[in-house]
Amino acid sequence: MVYVLVMVILGTGNAAAINEPIRIGTFHTIENCMAGANEAQTVGLDKVNYGFVCVRANDVPPVRTLSGVR
């Protein structure tokens, strides 16, 4: 089983919003995925609300970046 950690960003005020979740990484257990989310630190996101979601995935798609698929 594979779990994907995704980051969801919601802008507030004049801050930019990213409408699609960003895949952060993959983990073999839900506990490791949650630990990865708990260890995340923010830098420069004072006007942005964000959150992490661990999603169970059977097939992991290619990594999608802000500039496209790599």
Round the average pLDDT of the chain to a whole number and report it.
76
Whether 52 contacts 5, CB under 8 Å: yes
Span between the terminal Cα atoms of the chain, in Å:
23
pLDDT band of residue 5 (cuts 50, 70, 90) is very high
Task: State which H helix or E strand residue 7 sits in.
Answer: strand 2-11
Give me the mean pLDDT over the 13-40 stretch.
81
Report whether pLDDT(51) > 50.
Answer: yes
Q: Distance between CA atoms of 15 and 57, rounded to whole angstroms?
A: 31
